[in-house]
């Protein structure tokens, strides 16, 4: 099994819910889309290595892909996994977008 950081952490998951959660916790909780087979330990190590922070906990959730139609043909979007990463108190928040 490959342990490349960018295979484990696909993208930051920026939605209204994740943004609200981040604001309520002063930037301590961050959401990521992760590889479907990644476990909590791999996610924790990847975040710590990539962003140089200490992780307190990781919560994961799996989602099934939705069925979509285009005319008569029917297809299914792929399944995906989301991880909520909580940083330890006193850690610098992870910034995805630089604000000046």
Q: How many residues does the chain have?
A: 100
Average pLDDT over residues 75-88: 96
Domain spans of the chain, in order of start = 5-87
The Cα 82–Cα 100 span in angstroms is 29
The pLDDT, as a whole number, for residue 99 is 64
Q: What number of H helices and E strands is found in the chain?
A: 3, 6
* pTM (predicted TM-score): 0.87
The Cα 71–Cα 1 span in angstroms is 39
**pLDDT tens for each residue of 21-31:** 999 999 899 99
Q: Where do runs of H (alpha helix) occur along 1-100? A: 5-8, 16-24, 40-51
Reported as a pLDDT band with limits 50, 70 and 90, residue 1 is very low
The pLDDT, as a whole number, for residue 4 is 86
Q: What CATH architecture is 5-87?
A: 2-Layer Sandwich (3.30)
SS3 at position 99: coil
């Amino acid at each position: 099994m490959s342990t490349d950081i960018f295979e484990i952490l696909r993208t930051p998951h920026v939605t209204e819910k994740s943004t609200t959660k981040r604001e309520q916790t002063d930037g301590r909780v961050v959401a990521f889309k992760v590889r479907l087979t990644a476990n909590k330990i791999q996610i924790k190590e990847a975040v710590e290595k990539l962003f140089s922070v200490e992780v307190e906990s990781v919560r994961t959730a799996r989602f099934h892909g939705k069925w979509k139609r285009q005319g008569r043909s029917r297809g299914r979007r792929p399944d995906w996994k989301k991880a909520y990463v909580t940083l330890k108190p006193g850690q610098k928040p992870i910034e995805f977008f630089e604000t000046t």
